[in-house]
């Protein structure tokens, strides 16, 4: 079937601004997953920050910063590690805190580890502390 201009106009009227005003907003309201707000720690990240602060107080960590660096992986593709961690010996690592892994997050950290000369560590809370995975 070929659409005439009258058909197109009729379809536009049916899809009024009230029903299709902002499809992204509708999707956001119905989405089950709550997305991370930049600059705000979730509970797991806050617990890891407390862990890093303890290490800093006993001299095992010189300093750390939350979401302080954004790495460009490709055009319009960026990765912001959760923590940059500086050690007393001058070593520097990026730490990514995860409760569980989404596939895109695992891909991004692997790409970042391949492109940049830093050590990338993923940490996950377990019963005895923090489990580390190096990329």
**CATH number of the domain residue 130 falls in:** 3.40.1350.10
* pLDDT top residue among 25 and 91: 91
Residues above pLDDT 70, as percent of the chain = 75
Q: How many residues does the chain have?
A: 135
The structural domain count of the chain equals 1
Averaged pLDDT of the chain: 84
Per-residue pLDDT at 94 exceeds 70? yes
Query: How many whole angstroms separate alpha carbon 109 and alpha carbon 121?
Result: 9
For residue 10, tell me if it sits in a domain: no
pLDDT mean over 9-23: 52
Domain residue limits at 123: 43-134
For residue 23, tell me if it sits in a domain: no
Q: Using one digit for the tens of pLDDT, what is the confidence trace for 64-75?
A: 999 999 999 999
For residue 55, tell me if it sits in a domain: yes
For residue 57, tell me if it sits in a domain: yes
């Amino acid at each position: 079937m070929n659409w005439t201009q009258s058909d197109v106009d009729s379809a536009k009227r049916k899809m009024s601004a009230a029903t299709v005003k902002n499809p992204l907003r509708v999707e956001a309201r119905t989405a089950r997953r709550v997305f991370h707000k930049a600059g705000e720690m979730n509970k797991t990240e806050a617990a890891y920050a407390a862990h890093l602060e303890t290490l800093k107080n006993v001299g095992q960590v010189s300093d750390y910063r939350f979401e302080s660096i954004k790495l460009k992986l490709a055009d319009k593709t960026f990765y912001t590690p959760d923590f940059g961690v500086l050690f007393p010996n001058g070593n520097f690592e990026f730490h990514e805190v995860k409760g569980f892994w989404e596939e895109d997050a695992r891909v991004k950290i692997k790409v970042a580890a391949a492109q940049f000369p830093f050590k990338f560590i993923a940490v996950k809370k377990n019963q005895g502390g923090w489990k580390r995975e190096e990329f």
